[in-house]
Structure 1
Amino acid sequence: MVLEKLFHPIYLFSVEDFDISPITFCSNIASYFYQLSWDNYLHRQNQIAYLQKSLTQRQNTRLSNEFWYYFFQGKIPYSDFKPIYQDLSPIQQKEFDSIQPNRRRAVSAYLLSFHNNQWISEQISVPGYNQNQAKVINHDQLDYRLATRFFPELPSHFVNDDLFCLLEGIAIFIRSKLGCCQLKITVHHNQTIARPGSFASNAPEGIHQDGQDLIVSALVVERKNLTGGKSIIFGADKTTCIVEKTLYSGEGILQPDLNTDLWHTVEATYSADGNNEGYRSTIGFDIEIIK
């Protein structure tokens, strides 16, 4: 479904639209997400959120934004962190120590060129990833996505024909709307884990823009023992909901992002039964129009 009447159209799709079987596509790769490395950046961001909530105002004012950026990037030596940890009460120290990673992640990138009436895909390296044009609605909020991050590259067994078919299908669709002939697509394989008594978020920055020409904010591969995770797109006032959709296996949303009045987020996820972990495995696409 394409919401064509919007100034910036939004496309809700299934991989079936690109002649890919949703059942085959998802079942072939669902197990791979459990093998991905932990996203240590999000883990540290969750630790930062706990520290900022737990430390006194006076203790917080001693710590600059630069300090938190370095902490997020894993560049703060333990000798500098130890006094902060010691400012916590014994109960707070125990709670801090119990914060676990809750997202697995890998990244890959592809250059797609339209030549001789067909799209040619070439995998390229990802030396570092940043979103230097990303935005959040609260200008006073630190947006850690502006920092350069280094994620493990996608294992080779993830890079299969279905992925290239999907990339080509997205490129064909974009060309039909915009006439472009070269794209760079950065692909993010993510799995968030919602543990009993807690929640997981794939958008800790809240309502935001990613700073990319176009995005697939999420193509869902698997939802397992999970509630929540609704994708929401807002208009220019950042409060009027344009699209509200819980995506299931094989479903995704393609939308313009950079220099538009569209903002988006995804709701937190929770364990459905309250006793076992819940999982949401997704693929995200950052799409840069080169020409």
Structure 2
Amino acid sequence: MITEKDISKKLGRVVKSPIRVGDIADLGMHTTTFLNFFKPFFEELQDDNYLVRGKQITFLKESFPEESEMIEKIHKSYFEGNVTSKVLDPWIQKLDASQKQQYDHLSVITRQRNIASFQIEIWDDTIFVERIVQHAFEQDVDDFRVWKRVFTQASREAVENELFFELLKKMTGLVQEIHPEIRKMQITSHFMRTISQEKIKGENAPEGVHEDGAQYIMSALVINRQNSIGAESQVYEKLSPEHNELIYRKVLAPGEFIFQADTGEEFTFGNDLWHYVTPIEPDDSSRLGIRDIIGFDIDILD
């Protein structure tokens, strides 16, 4: 497993904030069995309309900069689904043919997901896992992701099973190696499919280089890739408000993951880590390109 120590050697300077790059086998789990079990569950995900709404608003603000302030006033209510797309009609009707084509392209669904949250408790050498239901998802960040999003809860078959609980316990072990004193954590999982097609890339991180607002993340455990190129996972260190330095990059294969400190670690370890994933596009433009991952947000509670 690659760690921040290995990355430090390549950089020629010290990175103290935790990073782990590995695969399911490194966690003591059978890769083929794991991947084959979870692949079917990505066929039941909900369309991520929040991503589409955000792109639509951004496009309209760029197309009509003189009306940007007025468009921004409806951004939050439209993003959260409290008003329908009809509120955008005054601007959509003014788009020329080329702009309308661009608008239609960015209105295509390119991401699907569901969500599940768990409370982890550690007593002596035993790890207990309990599913908890969070009806809305919000991130502790400084962009649109701070707004409320409601995603379909993952099915019991997908996340309340021996393999998934074993994965949660292995992730708990990764955190325990850094914080042996912990007794309670919350882990939220995101099953996500990114979809691309001819002329329409699949955005894995439309917010750009970012943090997720959790203490630790497994930014991606890749389950499946079909007919897709791209999706390079990148870890950055924020050296100043204006500068992020790329310190690690890798196109993750099925079964591989990146685990890293995410938010507030600069006060604990001294390095401010951020991350990004490049878009995907189809290798064969006549078919969809697909990338399926499970992402995790991890917060220590006690």
Distance 1:211 1:75 in 2: 24
Choose from 231, 248, 256 the match for 1:251: 256
Are positions 1:84 and 2:91 aligned together? yes
> Residue in 1 aligned with 2:54?
45
Distance 1:15 1:77 in 2: 42
Choose from 279, 287, 302 the match for 1:268: 279
Residues 77, 201 of structure 1: alpha-carbon distance in 2 compared, 3 angstrom cutoff: closer
Residues 11, 79 of structure 1: alpha-carbon distance in 2 compared, 3 angstrom cutoff: closer
Pairwise mapping of residues 1-150 of structure 1 onto structure 2 (< 5 A)? 1-4=2-5, 6-53=15-62, 55-64=63-72, 66-98=73-105, 99-132=107-140, 134-135=141-142, 143-150=143-150
Distance 1:102 1:79 in 2: 22
Which moves more between the two structures, 41-50 or 199-208? Answer: 41-50
Distance 1:91 1:243 in 2: 38
Deviation at 1:184, TM superposition (A): 0.3
Distance 1:79 1:235 in 2: 41
Distance 2:174 2:84 in 1: 48
Q: Is the 8 A contact 1:18 1:165 kept in 2?
A: no
**SS of the residue 1:258 aligns to:** coil
Q: Deviations over 1:16-54 (max 9, x none)?
A: 12221111111111122122111111121222233233x
Distance 1:185 1:168 in 2: 10
**SS of the residue 1:145 aligns to:** helix
Distance 1:77 1:9 in 2: 43
Deviation at 1:289, TM superposition (A): 0.3
Residues 2, 266 of structure 1: alpha-carbon distance in 2 compared, 3 angstrom cutoff: same
Q: 5+ unaligned residues in a row in structure 1: which ranges?
A: 136-142
Q: Deviations over 1:53-85 (max 9, x none)?
A: 3x2322324323x32122211223455332222
Pairwise mapping of residues 126-275 of structure 1 onto structure 2 (< 5 A)? 126-132=134-140, 134-135=141-142, 143-159=143-159, 160-179=161-180, 180-237=182-239, 238-259=243-264, 260=266, 261-275=272-286
Deviation at 1:264, TM superposition (A): 0.8
Residues 239, 217 of structure 1: alpha-carbon distance in 2 compared, 3 angstrom cutoff: same
Distance 1:77 1:36 in 2: 22
Deviation at 1:90, TM superposition (A): 4.7
Distance 2:99 2:178 in 1: 53
**SS of the residue 1:149 aligns to:** coil
Which moves more between the two structures, 69-78 or 160-169? Answer: 69-78
How many residue pairs are counted as aligned between the two chains? 281
Letter in 2 for 1:125: V
Deviation at 1:96, TM superposition (A): 2.9
> Residue in 2 aligned with 1:139?
none
Distance 2:108 2:230 in 1: 20
Distance 2:178 2:101 in 1: 54
Distance 1:244 1:100 in 2: 28
Letter in 1 for 2:146: L
Letter in 2 for 1:74: G
Q: Deviations over 1:230-275 (max 9, x none)?
A: 0111112243211111111111111111113111111111111222
Q: Is the 8 A contact 1:214 1:287 kept in 2?
A: yes
Q: 5+ unaligned residues in a row in structure 2: which ranges?
A: 6-13, 267-271
**SS of the residue 1:27 aligns to:** helix
Deviation at 1:93, TM superposition (A): 3.6
